[in-house]
């Protein structure tokens, strides 16, 4: 992951990946991707903590 930034505090962007926190949805190249709830939560934590070491907690 190279570039992460916030837009309207509801979306996270990283290259071609977008995570919409309001809709709890993930998009890859503007197409909605089907992910499970645990997968969504993992992506959310990783994208919110770019550049940091994340451990289970």
Domain boundaries, the chain: 4-48
Please name every residue paired with 14 in a beta bridge, in sequence order, or none if there are none: 4, 17
To the nearest 10°, report the CA torsion of 24, 26, 18, 55: 80
Each residue's pLDDT tens digit, 10-43: 999 988 999 999 999 999 999 999 999 999 999 9
Beta strands at 25-28 and 4-7: parallel, antiparallel or unpaired: unpaired
User: Two tokens at 26?
Assistant: 């993930």
Level-2 CATH architecture, domain 4-48: Orthogonal Bundle (1.10)
User: Which pTM was predicted?
Assistant: 0.78
Please name every residue paired with 24 in a beta bridge, in sequence order, or none if there are none: none
Q: What is the SS3 assignment for 40? A: helix
């Amino acid at each position: 992951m190279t570039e992460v930034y916030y837009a309207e505090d509801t979306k996270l962007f990283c290259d071609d990946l977008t995570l919409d926190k309001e809709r709890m949805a993930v998009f890859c190249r503007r197409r909605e991707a089907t992910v499970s709830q645990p997968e969504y939560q993992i992506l959310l934590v990783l994208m919110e903590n770019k550049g940091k070491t994340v451990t289970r907690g």
